[in-house]
């Protein structure tokens, strides 16, 4: 079966411990400390793989862990850093934190790679702690612990146009007629079991991507049947084509069908019914008499509500060309950017760092303000500074801890350098 949802646990690599050792050389009875730093742990990185189109692999393996950093060694040898773990996912995969359901990253658009969890920093060896007053330190810093998260992965189809409607109303027939998609078509009520994507090519280079969203049923928004598995694919689409059996060939009322499907869309996401929607009154080839009456009934009911009703026969092709150009006109008036889900959950914000003291000193030689403290070092290790939001979060963290206030008390000016555990920042007052 098509797999578009999975639940997994990911874990970054812990940093290696710093090492405690002293030089033991001939004719050097009391050598100084030479314990090396521990290696950094590997990070967990999500990467888009264009060759994937399902999340099936995640059904078989649920736990993923990056490599831990190795402990430092004598003679100031640094431990080997752990290898990063790259998790390959199809384009359109939305990664959520499992307990809250909040979005961490949407692997769509320009986002082809994302550092989800940073590996722990390696601890410093005892050689780092030697001072003129303490020449033989007998302790080293432990590496930062690993981070672990339980995630929900959801694959949401990326398409401009989504076909919605009850099973057996002709969606698969329509998409197979107008695009390169070839879904299995049969006369049964569970129809397509996975979304079919097709590229619709019109004249003069016009075109769009269409998705046949598998047949919905009443109660789908509450998880009845495969409701949630199918409805999530509608979220990316900009225009909906609501295909309805206008002929009532299976004894269903097309007006009631439209209201029922729109209710399911609204229950799943209040924004869905507000998307531009065209009603495709299909299967008119089955009505030798009364076709106009069936279409006029739909128009009278729904066009006052802002819906365009267009008569078609997916089987014969009648009215299909007009439908496609109407869709193109609607898309042309909309933003051409894909629907991307914004980040709601930031892993670094949920890390316990404690409230340990910190120090701020001015290094005359380096002409820089040096900030140190256990909680600051820990948070620095957890935060992805390459992300704009991650960088802002770290700035806010320093402000909340009182670091910024102390820097200002010491007379820091715009453009001055602040050094924090190997990172150098230029200070500018907001």
Q: In the chain, what percentage of residues exceed pLDDT 90?
A: 31
Asked whether 107 and 89 are in contact (CB, 8 A), the reply is yes
Q: What's the burial of 265, exposed, middle or buried (CB within 10 Å: 0-12/13-18/19+)?
A: buried
| The pLDDT value given to residue 290 | 66
Per-residue pLDDT tens digits for 225-256: 444 566 777 888 899 999 999 888 778 889 99
Rounded Cα distance, 217 and 331, in Å: 27
Per-residue pLDDT tens digits for 285-324: 887 676 788 889 999 999 999 999 999 999 899 999 999 9
Considering the chain, what is the average pLDDT of its residues?
A: 83
388-401 and 374-382 helices, crossing angle to 10°: 170
| The pLDDT value given to residue 43 | 95
Structure tokens at 51: 């060759």
Q: Whole-prediction pTM value?
A: 0.69
190: pLDDT strictly greater than 60 = no
Structure tokens at 166: 């009850």
Look-up of token digits 């080839």: 285
- Name, in order, each residue with C-beta under 8 angstroms of 329's C-beta and a sequence gap of 6 or more: none
| The pLDDT value given to residue 54 | 80
Mean pLDDT of 40-66: 91
Lowest mean pLDDT among 163-172, 332-341, 359-368, 376-385: 376-385
Lowest mean pLDDT among 40-49, 124-133, 185-194, 359-368: 185-194
327: pLDDT strictly greater than 60 = yes
Lowest mean pLDDT among 14-18, 131-135, 322-326, 373-377: 131-135
2: pLDDT strictly greater than 50 = no
13: pLDDT strictly greater than 90 = yes
189: pLDDT strictly greater than 70 = no
Per-residue pLDDT tens digits for 58-93: 988 999 999 999 999 998 999 999 999 999 998 889
Residue scoring higher pLDDT (145 or 136): 145
| The pLDDT value given to residue 276 | 92
Mean pLDDT of 142-170: 87
| The pLDDT value given to residue 220 | 46
Look-up of token digits 């929900």: 152
320-332 and 171-178 helices, crossing angle to 10°: 80
110: pLDDT strictly greater than 80 = yes
| The pLDDT value given to residue 215 | 55
Report DSSP letters for 147-176, one per residue: -EEEEEEEE----SEEEE-STTSSHHHHHH
Distances (CA, A) of 14 to 351, 372, 389: 15, 21, 24
């Amino acid at each position: 079966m098509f797999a578009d949802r999975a639940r997994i646990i990911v874990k970054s690599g812990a940093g290696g411990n710093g090492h405690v050792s002293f030089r033991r050389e001939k004719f050097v009875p009391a050598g100084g400390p030479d314990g090396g730093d521990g290696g950094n742990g590997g990070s967990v990185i999500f990467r888009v793989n264009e060759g994937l189109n399902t999340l099936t692999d995640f059904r078989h393996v649920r736990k993923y862990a990056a490599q831990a950093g190795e402990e430092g060694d004598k003679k100031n040898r640094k431990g080997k850093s752990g290898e990063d773990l790259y998790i390959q996912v199809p384009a359109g995969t939305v990664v959520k934190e499992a307990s809250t359901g909040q979005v961490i990253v949407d692997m769509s658009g320009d986002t082809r790679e994302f550092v989800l969890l940073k590996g722990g920093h390696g601890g410093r060896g005892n050689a780092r702690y030697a001072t003129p007053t303490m020449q033989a330190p007998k302790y080293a810093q432990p590496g930062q612990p690993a981070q672990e998260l339980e995630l929900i992965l959801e694959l949401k189809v990326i398409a401009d146009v989504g076909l919605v409607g009850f099973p057996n109303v002709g969606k698969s027939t329509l998409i197979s007629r107008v695009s390169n998609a070839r879904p299995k078509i049969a006369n049964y009520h569970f129809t397509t079991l996975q979304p079919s994507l097709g590229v619709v090519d019109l004249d003069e280079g016009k075109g769009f991507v269409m998705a046949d969203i598998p047949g919905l049923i009443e109660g789908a928004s509450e998880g009845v049947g495969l409701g949630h598995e199918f409805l999530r694919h509608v979220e990316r689409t900009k225009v909906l084509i609501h295909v309805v059996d206008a002929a009532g060939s299976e004894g269903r009322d097309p007006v009631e069908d439209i209201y029922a499907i729109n209710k399911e869309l609204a229950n799943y996401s209040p924004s869905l019914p507000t998307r531009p929607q065209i009603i495709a009154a299909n299967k008119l080839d089955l009505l030798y008499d009364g076709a106009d009456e069936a279409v006029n009934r739909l128009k009278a009911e729904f066009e006052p509500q802002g819906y365009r009703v267009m008569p078609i026969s997916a089987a014969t092709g009648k009215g299909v060309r007009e439908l496609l150009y109407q869709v193109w006109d609607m898309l042309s008036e909309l933003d051409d950017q894909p629907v991307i889900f914004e980040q709601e959950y930031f892993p670094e914000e949920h890390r316990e760092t404690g409230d340990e003291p910190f120090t701020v000193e001015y290094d005359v030689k380096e002409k820089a303000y040096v900030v140190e403290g256990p909680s600051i070092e820990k948070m620095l290790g957890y935060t992805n500074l390459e992300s704009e939001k991650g960088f802002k979060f770290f700035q806010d963290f320093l402000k909340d801890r009182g670091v910024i206030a102390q820097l200002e008390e010491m007379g820091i000016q715009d453009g001055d350098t602040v050094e924090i555990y190997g990172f150098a920042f230029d200070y500018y007052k907001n």
